[in-house]
Structure 1
Amino acid sequence: MQLVFKEKGALYAAYIPAFADGGLFVPTPREYKLGEDIYLILTLPDDPQRYPIAGKVAWITPANASGGRTQGVGVKFPGDEKTRLIRLKIEEILGTAISSTKPTQTL
């Protein structure tokens, strides 16, 4: 699944720092099961590189969720070195915004 972030704000809204190895919220109408493998091709803001990530579904936001939340899944990154570097790159892009109280699509 392609996941393209053109703006830092969209990346902030999708990033899940609560997962120890990082993760992203992926809006999708497709139904997944917890623990299901999901393969992402990630593009970050101002970066032409595409990053492959083989993650696992760690939470599900169903259709018609309370609070008008977007349907989709929370994808937990694997604990490998390659993905750790991607997580660090995301956190570098977000900088101090990670600790913001601004609402996100995540936890």
Structure 2
Amino acid sequence: MNAQAAKVSGDRSLRTGTNKPGLLTLTIKDKSALYLAYMPFVKNGGLFIPTNSNYRLGDEVFMLLNLMGEDEKLPVAGRVIWVTPKGSQGNQGKRTAGIGVQFSDQDRGQTQKKIENYLAGALSGDKATHTM
């Protein structure tokens, strides 16, 4: 699959791409895009990744995650725990197709902590996300 972008608030702030099945690259450039993608209700944390590729629950994936323009890409292993198929409907109309990936125990909470530091104060809000 070629790199694809999801528009969030009219800006290309969340970008995904794959080189092969199971390997994802994800760049999240701003706090609002991170809020929409983050899954705080998941053990170890997780992210919703927009994609039209077919994944199944339980599929193992590896992602290279770039947050907020940092120089480094975080290597994160995980598994698919959520699938929103293409064409899904939700309360607000069409939902973004993609997968929710739970961060593995190997990460020891590092990615979850980093994301929650960026989202400090925003996690208690009631604004809708890609998954809830």
TM over 0.5, yes or no? yes
Q: The TM-score by the shorter chain falls in which range?
A: over 0.9
Q: 1:43 to 1:83 in 2, by over 3 A?
A: farther
Structure 2 length normalisation: TM-score? 0.77
Name the counterpart of 2:57. Answer: 34
Q: For the Cα contact (< 8 Å) 1:29–1:63, is it kept in 2?
A: yes
- Structure 1 CA distance for aligned equivalents of residues 123 and 75 of structure 2: 22
Name the counterpart of 2:112. Answer: 87
Q: How many percent identity over aligned positions? A: 41
Gaps of 5+ in 1: none
For 2:121, the aligned partner's letter is T
Name the counterpart of 2:88. Answer: 65
TM-superposed deviation, 1:105: 0.5
Q: For the Cα contact (< 8 Å) 1:53–1:83, is it kept in 2?
A: no
After superposing the two structures, state which structure 1 stretch, 10-19 or 42-51, moved more: 42-51
- Structure 1 CA distance for aligned equivalents of residues 100 and 122 of structure 2: 20
TM-superposed deviation, 1:83: 4.7
- Structure 1 CA distance for aligned equivalents of residues 115 and 69 of structure 2: 12
Name the counterpart of 2:131. Answer: 106
Report how many residues are paired. 106
TM-superposed deviation, 1:38: 1.0
When you count helix as a share of all residues, which structure comes out higher? 1
TM-superposed deviation, 1:88: 0.2
Structure 1 segments (4+ residues) deviating >3 Å: none
When you count strand as a share of all residues, which structure comes out higher? 2
- Structure 2 CA distance for aligned equivalents of residues 104 and 83 of structure 1: 25
- Structure 1 CA distance for aligned equivalents of residues 108 and 38 of structure 2: 14
